[in-house]
Structure 1
């Protein structure tokens, strides 16, 4: 039975106070299967060997574990400390199937796959997949004794995203329309990575660096960091925005030294300077640093975690990751907190297929983070990237926008 626009709106508005539910749209729809799947792009970028000096070849940068000399900051192939990318605790995709043939797909962070298979699948099988908020709460309550963050919330995130993807397909609409419609036609974007020449050539006026050296490299490492920022400012020009990702690797003292040293180059924010649970440390730094803003949240979880950031007045900018923080349902709660307290919300990898729908809907203009394919490829690689990511250009450089296909518009096949 297809609902009228009036009955659908009544259902959505009724759920707004306690969470969205689209179940009235199809009360007979049931989840019949939940499984992990391997996916591949329907239209993959051409394969090529990236430039050997590209940041994305090995992703060498400051990391929390870099204080131990046997570990480098390498996150690419051959990393001694990152999980095996082909192993059971790597990032994953979940498929939710229904009795009417509609399927939804959701992606989650490291460690969540076994939680989906070993626990969450049985909690939602047989349920109406359009009861999205109710199913989130069931999973949350069922995992409290071992979860609340990390792998358990990564698992909930993936299932939640799969449910939103499925709901969009049931309605025949992109997710941003389910959220309440589009506020912004397109979002200004920034490029993350240390291939600055490539980013500037592509048209970006906002770039985020990965800090290469941490406290273990001492004063010499600090000087090299400053040189990296200075060179970026020269390449970007006086009006572009520079951000620096410190990936939980610094101390309070080092952060103060870094902020002072890079002040002449007008850095917009320092990101994740401390470990995620050091709320008081973030708060102390925010009271002392005036030359730049502080950002964090990539490794924070749920509205309760961001509530602690708010309580400690820890940072200026929140950066939840939709595949880790609890999915689209939780992004809505976190976003409402941010809006109510005047805190900019700039999600981690916010330009990817799922969070861009939230950013297009959110009634506060923000930026969308993205990454370019590594340099060294044929022109067709970057042209396809523009086409697939709906890239446009304007006064703020590069812009992105969400897909108009139903759900999140993931253009994938199950391998």
Structure 2
């Protein structure tokens, strides 16, 4: 039977939850005095929302085939992304065979290169690409992981990112990644508090549980090295995204100067094979952490993973929910994965994109069976109770 063609592309925006997990109201650990590049300004130190981390909101992309089957993708790009999809990228999809994913990606990327290359444009391309893989899986009646070659293990292992690694241990996770609370602008006193927090958590979780620090682009090289050296006593497994994503030279220096056995990780805010080529060829880190919703989608993640494998590096995607689970379970150099604790107090496991998506699998006791990912496509659907807005109908 002939493969259907693409007959429609639609882009919607959503506020409050979804792909933009910072788009929340009220107290949330993810917005509580976390070190950022803007923390050098006291007025933006307490809350990441104060400097606009949640301004974009969620982009939802639907790609409809000629037989009526719909593929779904989500990312963080909001109304800007909706404009790009409807007014620019749609021309590369309408009328195409659903299987032309590689060609479509190539044309979307190079047609936007004069105003894109990274950031919101590549986020948007990622959302479209994810929708195409979802659509192809549905049309073939297979999960995306089967399209990628199939599982190489029977289950996924998770570490949890959140403010309460002690609770994460009780929930069965293999490790807990803490947000760094204090940056260089808070001086030696802030550095002391960071180490005290780590020491407190180590005392609560014991010696064998992984503890990591997520520094979210907030540090300079000197502070990063000092933090790593002081954290060694408390068994810090890795130090993550210390520097600006553009400071490849700084990351290379950092990797050379952290204590032996401590890992350097980064890549959450990197994009495409070219950005990750810089990280890998300059030996900037031990683990790369692309986000499939931001780095270029599944199509680009395949290339990034192969580059990492050829360089002998692990690839552990940033917490992008079911979209990364389908990929991680097919790759030997992705031996575990991340879940971001979306509960305000990091005290329960919730689906990554709730309330936007339904049927998202979640780990149980820090594990997820491969069989939990066996529905066609990515196995998720839009929540009909979530209000969608389509600002730029073609």
TM-score (norm 1): 0.82
- The partner residue of 2:90 within 114, 121, 124 is 121
Does structure 1 residue 36 correspond to structure 2 residue 11? Answer: yes
Contact 1:189–1:204 (CA<8 Å) still a contact in 2?
yes
Go from structure 1 to structure 2 and tell me whether the alpha carbon gap of 1:164 and 1:59 turns closer, same or farther (over 3 Å shift). Answer: farther
Q: What pairs with 1:17-96 in structure 2 (closer than 5 Å)?
A: 26-27=2-3, 29-37=4-12, 55-56=29-30, 58-75=31-48, 79-85=49-55, 89-96=56-63
- Secondary structure in structure 2 of the residue aligned to 1:184: coil
Does structure 1 residue 369 correspond to structure 2 residue 341? Answer: no
Go from structure 1 to structure 2 and tell me whether the alpha carbon gap of 1:400 and 1:64 turns closer, same or farther (over 3 Å shift). Answer: farther
- Secondary structure in structure 2 of the residue aligned to 1:242: strand
Q: CA deviation at 1:62?
A: 0.2
Partner of 1:101: 68
Go from structure 1 to structure 2 and tell me whether the alpha carbon gap of 1:96 and 1:200 turns closer, same or farther (over 3 Å shift). Answer: same
Does structure 1 residue 332 correspond to structure 2 residue 302? Answer: yes
Go from structure 1 to structure 2 and tell me whether the alpha carbon gap of 1:103 and 1:339 turns closer, same or farther (over 3 Å shift). Answer: same
- The partner residue of 1:241 within 206, 210, 213 is 210
Contact 2:360–2:379 (CA<8 Å) still a contact in 1?
no
Q: CA deviation at 1:390?
A: 4.5
In 2, Cα distance between equivalents of 1:388 and 1:91: 17
Go from structure 1 to structure 2 and tell me whether the alpha carbon gap of 1:342 and 1:392 turns closer, same or farther (over 3 Å shift). Answer: same
- Secondary structure in structure 2 of the residue aligned to 1:97: strand
Go from structure 1 to structure 2 and tell me whether the alpha carbon gap of 1:91 and 1:400 turns closer, same or farther (over 3 Å shift). Answer: farther
Q: What pairs with 1:8-407 in structure 2 (closer than 5 Å)?
A: 26-27=2-3, 29-37=4-12, 55-56=29-30, 58-75=31-48, 79-85=49-55, 89-110=56-77, 111-291=80-260, 292-350=262-320, 352-374=321-343, 388-393=360-365, 397-399=366-368, 401=370, 403-407=373-377
Go from structure 1 to structure 2 and tell me whether the alpha carbon gap of 1:84 and 1:370 turns closer, same or farther (over 3 Å shift). Answer: closer
Go from structure 1 to structure 2 and tell me whether the alpha carbon gap of 1:184 and 1:301 turns closer, same or farther (over 3 Å shift). Answer: same
Contact 1:91–1:107 (CA<8 Å) still a contact in 2?
yes
Go from structure 1 to structure 2 and tell me whether the alpha carbon gap of 1:316 and 1:135 turns closer, same or farther (over 3 Å shift). Answer: same
In 1, Cα distance between equivalents of 2:164 and 2:266: 23
Unaligned runs of 5+ in 1: 2-25, 41-48
Q: CA deviation at 1:204?
A: 2.1
In 2, Cα distance between equivalents of 1:221 and 1:134: 50
Go from structure 1 to structure 2 and tell me whether the alpha carbon gap of 1:246 and 1:376 turns closer, same or farther (over 3 Å shift). Answer: closer
Partner of 1:4: none
TM-score (norm 2): 0.87
Go from structure 1 to structure 2 and tell me whether the alpha carbon gap of 1:122 and 1:360 turns closer, same or farther (over 3 Å shift). Answer: same
Q: CA deviation at 1:59?
A: 3.8
Go from structure 1 to structure 2 and tell me whether the alpha carbon gap of 1:381 and 1:226 turns closer, same or farther (over 3 Å shift). Answer: closer
In 2, Cα distance between equivalents of 1:190 and 1:139: 34
- Secondary structure in structure 2 of the residue aligned to 1:80: helix
Could you give the per-residue CA deviations for residues 235-272 of structure 1, whole angstroms, max 9, x where no partner exists?
11110111110000000010011011111011111110
Go from structure 1 to structure 2 and tell me whether the alpha carbon gap of 1:248 and 1:132 turns closer, same or farther (over 3 Å shift). Answer: same
Unaligned runs of 5+ in 2: 16-23, 387-394
Q: CA deviation at 1:201?
A: 2.5
Larger Rg, first or second structure (1 or 2): 1
In 2, Cα distance between equivalents of 1:159 and 1:380: 28
Q: CA deviation at 1:117?
A: 2.2
In 2, Cα distance between equivalents of 1:59 and 1:347: 24
Could you give the per-residue CA deviations for residues 114-162 of structure 1, whole angstroms, max 9, x where no partner exists?
3212211122112112211110001111011111111111111000000
In 1, Cα distance between equivalents of 2:98 and 2:337: 29
- Secondary structure in structure 2 of the residue aligned to 1:112: helix
Go from structure 1 to structure 2 and tell me whether the alpha carbon gap of 1:235 and 1:375 turns closer, same or farther (over 3 Å shift). Answer: farther
Partner of 1:11: none
In 2, Cα distance between equivalents of 1:228 and 1:298: 24
In 2, Cα distance between equivalents of 1:314 and 1:344: 13
**What is the root-mean-square deviation of aligned Cα atoms in Å?**
2.6
Could you give the per-residue CA deviations for residues 207-246 of structure 1, whole angstroms, max 9, x where no partner exists?
0000000000000000100011111111111101111100
Partner of 2:390: none
* Number of residue equivalences: 368
